[in-house]
Amino acid sequence: MQQYLQQDIQFLPGVGPKRADILREELNISTLEDLLTYYPYRYVDRSRFFKISDVTSDMPFIQIKGKIQGYASIGKGRGKRLVADFTDGSGRLELVWFRGAKWIPENYPIGKELVVFGKPSVYQRKLNVVHPELEDPEKKHVVSSSLQAVYSTTERLKDNYLTSKAISKLMANLIKDLPRKFEETLPAWLLQKLNLINLDTAMRQIHFPDATAQYKKAELRLKFEELFYIQLNILQGKNERNKRFRGNVFETVGESFNTFYTEHLPFELTGAQKKVMKEIRRDMGSGRQMNRLLQGDVGSGKTLVALMSLLIAIDNGFQTCIMAPTEILAQQHFKSINSFLDGMDVRVELLTGSVKKAVRIPIHEGLLDGTVHILIGTHAVIEDVVQFKRLGLVVIDEQHRFGVAQRARLWNKADVLPHVLVMTATPIPRTLAMTLYGDLDVSVIDELPPGRKAIVTRHSYDSKRLMVFGFLKKQLALGRQAYIVYPLIKESESMDYKDLEDGLESISRAFPPPQYQVSVVHGKMKPEEKEASMAHFVAGRTHIMVATTVIEVGVDVSNASIMIIESAERFGLSQLHQLRGRVGRGADQSYCILMTAYKLSDEGRKRIETMVQTNDGFEIAEVDLKLRGPGDIEGTQQSGVPFNLKIAHLGRDSQILQLARDTAELIISEDPNLKLEKNFIFVKHIKKGNPKRIDWGKIS
């Protein structure tokens, strides 16, 4: 059967070489199995007819029985279309075609009873259906009485008559001729335990369901299987890695840590920080190599946790390094760590792209002879020339900007792999973290240091800008500073710069010098200019910083307490949250004002509302995941979502994912090498769990 399903799609009746090419190029379908796992994205109920008088434009696909009363050809050029006047006695509806104007009236004559199927919409206040499917109710064949699967298609597919209906027909041909049942991929004991239907039934029902309950069961079964094998794969890999790679054991908590903790730490750690420190210490003392993801909102005190971890490594005779995504961030870490450690006998060095050669050389020497304890830097750190004498712990800030491969390269720098702590301020929902970074253990700082005032977030329409400026003036009069951020999207770059320039002009008019000073930072400036402009703002010489999103990560100005985001509807949720995190760092009440046009898309409105309602990064990340899907979650493109999910959705199927994770955990803890007979079937299918998975063993 498995072999049968590997056959080329072109030999399936109804396909042929040309359509096979199109299917491959458009949908990545080249075998029978590929087609079978091209699952419907929804179903329509074709047993029910609607009355035109009940139809509204927000309905999904529906069907109506009625008659065409006349045809007309309307418009010119690209707007040219054929319009049919359709009625069922309860009301009227326009049917519209931009193509096929010739053969439609011939096939569907005026006055004949027809079934119209399509998505209703409104154009110029009239209800219409564009490119409907039409059927003769007497000739209604195959499909009909019940639920029909809908497959997504592309323009090119449709142009070649590969509509959803055509795909459904191919699917029917394929399933009808299958020589055998689908081979089961999960053991009977598990199906029984979780009350899942068998694969054969699921595959048939997912494409041709008998009823809603049936496709729901099919969906559950197939989603579970997909997520389960990913989890099983991850957990088994992790298990093997733990056995194979030893980690340096940091036994002692020594002088640097104790001095810092008792004499330098200016405040009490939060409960969350203490909890995470415990987790990290346990990892670093276990003899296994630590791979831990430290999640925490902006300002939750991750850097401090990282610093204390470094001190433990140093106390045990090891060197450490911190990698930051940008030069500014690296510098900021350097500055704050130096001030935390002021007066202690710890050598900290900064290595970034702009560090001069003369300065670099002694740093390299210090790394080689072991006298540099903490190296802070950007990507330059991982250049091959950088050699440590005894690297024990690597902290990676802002995981997203570093690919998995870069993480792996670092590991080559020591005999025994250094412990790795990855920090991220872009919270990843648990469900996603479990899958994307399933090989990492996850710690969460879910508590802000005491005394922080929650940032007040408001939504304001562009038309109210003068009021916003008035508010800003009052705040500036109190001695605060403000950011005003403009979007800069690659596709509309020149227009965005125009917006920025126009905005800058009106800001200068509203906030004229010498009373007000404005800094500008954007991507077209030279790095030195950017730095200088930023430095003015940091030093408090300018009051307002007008910028594009370059300030998203990094800058930490505790006196800046107002963040105004222009065209906020154009930003993604997590980006908005990151930007907002630039304020609220000092003792003053901070504000974030989201400016938008009056008209907003549903999704845009949801994003703005979410921001106004909550400051909780995890909650925001969950909403983001639901709205956009994991492939689009900021940053994950760079590290690459390593899975090609065919049916499950990481945002919407979190419960199934949890079940998959729990099940896999149970199996691996009972039978780590899948040696028990009842688990044999897993061995055969576990590879499916992650075709694109990186083999850590090979890299190190």
What residues make contact with ligand ADP under the rule CB under 6 A?
A: 267, 269-270, 273, 296, 298-304, 425, 449
Residue 289 within binding range of Mg ion, rule CB under 5 A: no
Rounded Cα–Cα distance for residues 135 and 142 (Å)? 12
Centre a 10 Å sphere on the Cβ of residue 1 and count the other Cβ atoms it contains.
Answer: 12
Please count the residues of the chain: 700
CA distance 671 to 107: 64
In whole angstroms, how close is the CB of 398 to Mg ion at the nearest point?
9
Q: How far is the CB of 295 from Mg ion (least distance, A)?
A: 12
CB under 5 to 8 A by kind: which of ligand ADP, Mg ion, none does 408 bind?
A: none
| DSSP state string for 19-49 | HHHHHHHHH---BHHHHHT---SEEEETT--
The binder of 270, among ligand ADP, Mg ion, none, by C-beta within 5 to 8 A per type, is ligand ADP
Q: What are phi and psi of 334, to 5 degrees?
A: -60, -45
For ligand ADP, the closer of residues 307 and 659 by Cβ is 307
Q: How far is the CB of 564 from ligand ADP (least distance, A)?
A: 21
Considering CB distances under 5 to 8 angstroms, the limit depending on partner class, which of Mg ion, ligand ADP, none binds residue 299?
A: ligand ADP
Transcribe 172-203 into DSSP letters.
Answer: HHHHHT-SSPPPP-S-HHHHHHHTPPPHHHHH
Q: How far is the CB of 594 from ligand ADP (least distance, A)?
A: 22
List the beta bridge partners of residue 351: 377
Q: How far is the CB of 569 from Mg ion (least distance, A)?
A: 28
Residue 300 or 548: which CB sits closer to ligand ADP?
300
Which amino acid, residue 306?
A
- Residue 301 binds which one of ligand ADP, Mg ion, none, with CB within 5 to 8 A depending on kind? ligand ADP
Helices and strands per DSSP (H, E), number in the chain? 26, 22
273 binds, among ligand ADP, Mg ion, none (CB under 5 to 8 A by kind): ligand ADP
Which of 450, 452, 432, 451 is closest to 442 using CA atoms?
432
In whole angstroms, give the CA distance from residue 72 to residue 96.
Answer: 10
Q: Which is nearer to Mg ion, 303 or 578 (CB)?
A: 303
Helix (H) or strand (E) holding 348: strand 348-351
Helices 602-613 & 573-580 angle (0-180, nearest 10): 30
Give the nearer residue to ligand ADP in terms of CB position, either 396 or 641: 396
**Residue where the block lists tokens 């005779």:** 317
Indicate the residue among 167 and 304 with the shorter CB distance to Mg ion.
Answer: 304
Tell me the C-alpha distance between 586 and 302, whole Å.
17
Cβ-based nearer residue to ligand ADP, 219 or 588: 588
Question: Cis omega before residue 514 (within 30°)?
Answer: yes
Cβ 554 to ligand ADP, closest distance in Å? 11
Give the nearer residue to ligand ADP in terms of CB position, either 91 or 586.
586
CA neighbours within 13 Å on the CB side: how many for 468?
A: 25
Q: Which stretch binds Mg ion (CB under 5 A): 295-303, 383-391, 432-440, 582-590?
A: 295-303
State the minimum distance, in angstroms, from the CB of residue 265 to ligand ADP: 8
Residue in this structure with the two tokens 């930051």, named with its chain if needed: 324
Give the ranges where 341-397 is alpha helix by DSSP (H): 357-369
267: partner contacted, choices Mg ion, ligand ADP, none (Cβ within 5-8 A by kind): ligand ADP
Which residue among 231, 259, 300, 303 contacts Mg ion (CB under 5 A)?
303
Instruction: Report in angstroms how near the CB of residue 398 gets to ligand ADP at its nearest.
Output: 10
CB 358 within 8 A of CB 433: no
Closest to Mg ion by CB, 260 or 411: 260
* Smallest gap from residue 377 Cβ to ligand ADP (A): 17
* Binding interface with Mg ion (CB under 5 A): 303
